[in-house]
Structures are given as structure tokens and as C-alpha cells.
Structure 1
Amino acid sequence: MNLKLKLSNILFLDIETVPAESNWQNLTTTTQELFKKKTSYQRKEETTAAEFYERAGIWAEFGKIICISVGYFVLNDEKNQFRVTSFFGDDEFKLLSEFKNLLETHFSKPANVLCAHNGKEFDFPFIARRMIVHQIPLPKKLNLFGKKPWEIPHLDTLELWKFGDYKHYTSLNLLTSILGIPSPKDDIDGSEVAKVYYIEKNIKRIVNYCEKDTITVAQVLLRFNNQPLLEEKDIVNV
């Protein structure tokens, strides 16, 4: 694709979300009614809102973020090194504040961009909405008000793959398969995150899954640009 971007200017990321409450009964009556109305279009007639609540994590109004994994390139001995770190836990305000601090201290320059797969439809707006819920002032990289399309510092590997075809959706897993990239889906997938979080209480497993997706987004962008893929020795957890 001949993308005119320095790899070191890109912050790759992925988020994992779950329903805000562990079960339907914990919601207030008002929230239950609002969820029913919000999901009436998506639900099949025979599926109740209570049964559908396990999918509430896909809406920022009814879900919460439990992990944001980020990755970035640094030049080390003339070779690209990819460093990965995560903000995670039960305290969404804390992890969002830590992520905001990263954006404002290390990725605040105009040349810096955020990159995710389907990030423009999910990750970026979800993070921004949850920050507003927690009354966290939006960092510049997420505050899009008044910006022209070409001024928005967001890169989306799904959008790049569409090549202007707005009807086309390709999952990250499918892209890895056709591009010859190791799949990140070797343990759990997105549909299992809520169970792992609320029932297994295994946040470390979720963080590992999230970080693999972040690494994979970087690999996809490298393949788009006909650059060598990262090897395991090039990836460092910090």
C-alpha cells in the first residue's frame, strides 16, 4: 500500500470489553428497559433481553473496558522492535486514566496516530464514550469534534482492507489466514471474554489475548506495506 507513515509514530491497540454487570438481575429496572429498547433490532423475537445481556459488552452504554493493550515500534540495533504493554483491571477509571496519560505524554505529537482493526467503528469511540461516562477529559487523539476527515489521527486496518468498499467486513482472524500471519485466536475469542472475566476471574488470560490481537494488527499493517513480519524475538513486553 506504500503507506507514508513512520512505524514509530503509530500506537497500535486493542480493547476487551464486558457487560457492566455480571448478570441481568444486577441491573436497575430502568437500565433493563433501556437495554430492551436498545437491542430490540438486534435480538431475534424468541430471544429475551435477559438472554441477550451476555452481549452487552459491545455497547459503551451497557459495557465497560477491562483491558487496553498497546504496542509501538522502536528502532533497536537497526531492527524494528515491537514493545507491548497493557492497562487492565476492574477499575475502569484507573485504566482509562493511565491510557490517557500515555497518549498525552508519549503519543501527543501531530504525527502520531492510533491504529486498530475496526477501530473507527469500535475501539476508538468506545474508549471515548467510556471516558465521558467517567468524566475524564478527552485527549486530543480521541476528541474529533470539528476535525476534517483527513485531520483525524486514526488508522484502521479494516478500513484499509476495504479499499473504499463500505459494505465489506473482514475479521482480523480471516485477514491473518489469507495473509499468512500467525492467528491470535489460539485460546479464547471475543465471545468468551465475559465468561473468563466474571466466572473464571482470569484477567491475565484476557490480557494475553488482547496483547496478541494488538501484535496481530501491527503484523497486518506490515503485510499491507510489504514489510517483513515481526519475529517472536522482536516482540518485548514492557
Structure 2
Amino acid sequence: MLSKLNLEHILFIDIETVPQFENFTGLEPEIQDLYADKTQYQRKEDYTAEEFYDRAGIWAEFGKIICISVGYFTIKETVRSFRTTSFQGSEKNQLLDFKKLLSEHFNKPQHVLCAHNGKEFDFPFIARRMIINGIKLPYKLDLFGKKPWEIPHLDTLELWKFGDYKHFTSLKLLTKILNIPSPKTDIDGSQVRDVYYLEKDITRIVEYCERDVVAVAQIVLRLRNEALLLNEEVVSV
């Protein structure tokens, strides 16, 4: 049961991704063709592959990670805090730093990774980009041969489904109906590409990513029927 899980054993995660290049023309011709093939059913006849390229960040084969934010609880007697930190810079360095965090601090059997829609997006995206960057997968992301109950991943979207596989609820909607402060106070996911490539404001993206991490932690608290985090309990380090 979720209520029996030690909060200090959960690493909350969110990533922000963008297309690998600012423009479609940055792709080599063969990759352009492969992107067109990959997206033909999503585009139908409404868009060309080039017109659809602003959405390339949702595929690990054509996108890249520009920020990995994490958060974790520390609880000492009655004092609770939630610490967030982010990895940015070159994608490979981000992934190596994230792997080091997992290997050194969240490597025990009781440790789990948690994200909203993480099983469909964040966790596989990170794993695929690690492989593309020549990085050996850490144990928490290497799922080969593991039974479903052995996979150390927690997904707030899945928790909210309660077994209903047809149901999708965005992080923005879920925070709203659970009376959790919205993380989408500045930008949302659809704007990240422009903020990164046009405004070149990575700080704004990092702050947004960390707000999402806090929101996921708040959802877990609500599902456990526990008090939400206060602003003074959240510390960015």
C-alpha cells in the first residue's frame, strides 16, 4: 500500500525535452526521412514533417533532455522538508550526474523512482537517451528480465487510474482537482522548446521543471491523505 511506503525512499523526477535541433533542416536527410516515417500517423495529412518538427522532443530518437529535476523528502522527528535539485548542461553530463545520484544514494531495493506518466515517458526517455549517449543503464532503469512487481517505478498517473487503462489525467488537471498549487504558473510543456531555443532561458525551464517535481510529491501526499508541503518546507539545493 502507498501509505506504507517510506517517503524518504522515493526519488521524484521530472524531465524537460526539446527537439535535437532548433530547426528541421538541422537533421541530416536520412534522419529527416525517418522522422517523416515515424510521425506519419500523428501528422496524417495536416502537416508536413518539417511543420511537425516542433513536437520532435517527445521522441527519444529525435529529441534530447535539457533538464532533469529531482526531489526527495527528509524527515527528522516532526520536521519535514522536501529538497529539489536539477541537472543541466550537456545532455550526456546530465545523464551521468543523474546516474551517479541513483548509484550512490538511491541504489537500495527499497528505493523507488516516481514521476507523473513516468512509465510512459520520463523513465523510458532517460533510459533510451542513456543508451544513445553510450551510458550503461543504472539498475533502477534496467528493466530487462524483471517481473512487473520488481520494477522500482511509481507513477502518479497510474495511481490515479485505479486500474482504468483508458483514463489519462494531466498533471495540471490532477493538481487542480486535488487543490494542489499548480506548477504551470509561468510556462507549460508546449512552450519549453521556444523558451529553450528562442529565449535561451534555461533558468526559467529549470524552475518550471522543479515545480513539476514538487507537484508530483504533493499528489503522493494527497493520495496518502497527508498534509501538503508548505512553501517553507521546499528547498532548492
1:82-231 → structure 2 map (5 Å cutoff): 82-89=82-89, 91-231=90-230
Return the TM-score normalized by structure 2. Answer: 0.98
Question: For residues 33-112 of structure 1, what are the structure 2 equivalents within 5 Å?
Answer: 33-76=33-76, 78-89=78-89, 91-112=90-111
Identity of aligned residues (%): 66
TM-score normalized by the length of structure 1:
0.98
Tell me the SS of whatever aligns to 1:8.
helix
Letter in 2 for 1:106: H
Greater alpha carbon shift after TM alignment, 77-86 vs 160-169:
77-86
Where in structure 2 are there 5+ consecutive unaligned residues? none
Distance in 2, matches of 1:82 and 1:44, equals 44
* Count of paired positions: 237
Q: Secondary structure at the match of 2:113?
A: strand
CA RMSD of aligned residues (A): 0.9
Q: Which amino acid letter does the alignment assign opposite residue 71 of structure 2?
A: G
**Amino acid in the other structure paired with 2:43:** R
Q: Could you tell me how far apart the structure 1 residues matched to 2:39 and 2:2 are?
A: 41
CA drift of 1:2 comes to 4.7
Match of 2:3 in 1: 3
Deviations 1:149-183 (A, max 9, x none): 00000000000000000010000000111000000
Give the match's secondary structure for 1:42.
Answer: helix
User: Offset of 1:3 from its aligned partner?
Assistant: 2.8
Unaligned runs of 5+ in 1: none
Amino acid at match of 1:28: E
Counterpart in 1 of 2:232? Answer: 233
Q: Aligned partners of 1:68 and 1:23: how far apart in 2?
A: 23
